[in-house]
């Protein structure tokens, strides 16, 4: 390269794989090349090839049962990109007014472009946030996670605060936005009817009937 930007030390592809491995680990999911291929939306052969390259770069280690884990070096890179992603999400919503449900998708473009200097400025401007807009901890700034349980496990009459919702499915996020189920929202369980497959909640003075499958995905403060 003659002009322009210095070459980044870690490629976007590498950052994306390490981020995916980190996020599966956050959910206590075992990471195999097959699972990685699914979440990265690539063929198994491509995922296997990338894992081999990451192993040579000492970013990941592969156990004899094919489980992929981050090395110390890989974890540092993963935490860095996850941190930039989650700060970018907050920036998009709080500073630019982007719709809450769009921030996760948009942050995937921005996360790779944030330098350590800009990251520091963002943290200060955002008031040292500990979580992203969906309740996921920001590595390096979160002071330990609070106790959570799925809404599906709550009892009738219980009132609690939403802690975390899944961020990947934009249609589900759009729905959560419509019914105001976001981290920090106060909800009251009016009826829990596993035999009907529903949980009825009050949120913002409105009755909302949720399917059990959706209620399992919403984490509330335990």
Kindly state whether residue 111 participates in binding Zn ion, applying the rule CB under 5 A: no
Interaction between residue 104 and Zn ion (CB under 5 A): yes
Is 167 a binder of Zn ion (CB under 5 A)?
yes
Stretch that binds Zn ion, among 54-62, 99-107, 109-117, 182-190 (CB under 5 A): 99-107
Question: Which two three-digit tokens encode residue 204?
Answer: 């913002």
Is the Cα torsion angle 121, 125, 131, 133 positive or negative in sign? negative
Q: How far is the CB of 183 from Zn ion (least distance, A)?
A: 13
Cβ nearer to Zn ion, comparing 35 with 83 = 83
Measured from the CB atom, the residue of 15 and 167 that comes closer to Zn ion is 167
Site for Zn ion in 74-93 (CB under 5 A): none
Enumerate the β-bridge partners of residue 200: 191, 209
Largest Cα separation within the chain, whole Å, is 67
Backbone angles phi, psi at 182, to 5 degrees: -140, 160
Q: Does residue 182 interact with Zn ion by CB under 5 A?
A: no
Ranked by CB distance to Zn ion, the top (closest) residue is: 104
Single out the segment in contact with Zn ion by CB under 5 A; choices: 35-43, 66-74, 101-109, 209-217.
101-109
26-65 footprint of Zn ion as x/- string (CB under 5 A): ----------------------------------------
Q: Which is nearer to Zn ion, 35 or 86 (CB)?
A: 86
State yes or no: residue 15 binds Zn ion (CB under 5 A). no
Residues of the shown chain interacting with Zn ion in the complex, contacts defined by CB under 5 A: 104, 167
């Amino acid at each position: 390269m003659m002009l322009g930007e210095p070459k980044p030390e870690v490629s976007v592809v590498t950052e994306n794989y390490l981020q995916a491995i980190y996020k599966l680990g956050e959910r206590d999911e075992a990471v195999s090349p097959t699972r990685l291929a699914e979440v990265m939306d690539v063929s198994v052969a491509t995922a296997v090839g990338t894992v081999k390259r990451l192993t040579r770069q000492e970013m990941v280690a592969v156990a004899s049962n094919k489980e992929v884990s981050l090395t110390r070096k890989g974890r540092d890179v993963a935490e860095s990109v996850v941190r930039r992603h989650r700060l970018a999400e907050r920036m998009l919503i709080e500073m630019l007014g982007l719709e809450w449900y769009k921030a996760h998708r948009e942050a995937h473009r921005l996360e790779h472009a944030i330098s350590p200097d800009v990251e520091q400025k963002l943290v200060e401007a955002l008031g040292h946030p500990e979580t992203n807009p969906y309740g996921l901890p920001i590595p390096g700034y979160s002071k330990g996670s609070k106790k959570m349980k799925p809404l599906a496990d709550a009892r009738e009459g219980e009132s609690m605060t939403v802690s975390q919702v899944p961020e990947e499915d934009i249609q589900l996020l759009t729905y959560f936005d419509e019914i105001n189920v976001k981290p920090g929202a106060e909800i009251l369980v009016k009826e829990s009817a596993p035999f009907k497959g529903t949980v009825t909640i009050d949120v913002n003075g409105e009755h909302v009937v949720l399917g059990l499958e959706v209620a399992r995905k919403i984490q509330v403060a335990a």
